[in-house]
Structure 1
């Protein structure tokens, strides 16, 4: 595997640092927290009002993280979590190798995933339901699906949320399906 930026170890270290830090609540705390963890909140180029009581920001940059896009979301004006699209523009094999390396590092740090599934259709999914946080990772191999439908670019989509706030947001979404925002999709090139 060629050297990917960021390395899976850099991503795992950033997640561990975020999860061990005090989680922000207010907008000002969130901006400071994001900056402290290497995300430039002023570089976000997309803001979405989530047809309800949440908002999300996407396409923020991180110095030294190559093509990675970072984003974050709020629910009832409280910070919920961060997400990334990693390693876009890399080959399918490089992305899947990096995804497995990251899954291994997260498993070493956080324990065996609550759920893990490999799929020939898209790549793989890993979920860690921890006491205070939720980590979700999707690996997209970028190959055409078995039905011939294009799959999009190879990349890893990664989320880390404060579990209490993420569960409250999901509960609200189930109770108010008309307000549910569209799921995050891979950002445009």
Structure 2
């Protein structure tokens, strides 16, 4: 729950910053490409600060995708009463969903950095001793990265981290394929 409140706070801060830059980001005389670049440079870093430590569940992923669409609809000046699907908005903006993919890429890059350093891997991989709590088990960062990177066990992924070129190729392939 703490991660969800952190992500909600990050989303709120990004939307506040968007409103501060609204005159630039919604200006009709500025090209859509330039407005998207401004969004990517000034708003998305506020949203993604500390995302390397987030555990992204399906619910959080939906919230992040909704935030991304909120930004695009504001940039394109599409009112909430317009009945345009997200796919139409993405086509109009000539863009693919990229926020969750970028977060996953940053998480994988951070994991590779930490694992190659060799000092904190017991914290990253989640191998802690003790009893498991009751109820549905919490999703771990490694579980999310394992599904994003493709077929393979967590142990295979941790072995691939040691080879930097292989790791970069795995991340690049997963990023190209999308979520």
Q: By percentage of residues, which structure has more helix?
A: 2
Same fold (TM over 0.5): no
Structure showing greater Rg: 2
Q: Higher relative CO (CA 8 A, sep ≥ 6), structure 1 or 2? A: 2
Q: By percentage of residues, which structure has more strand?
A: 1
Give the structure-1-normalised TM-score: 0.29
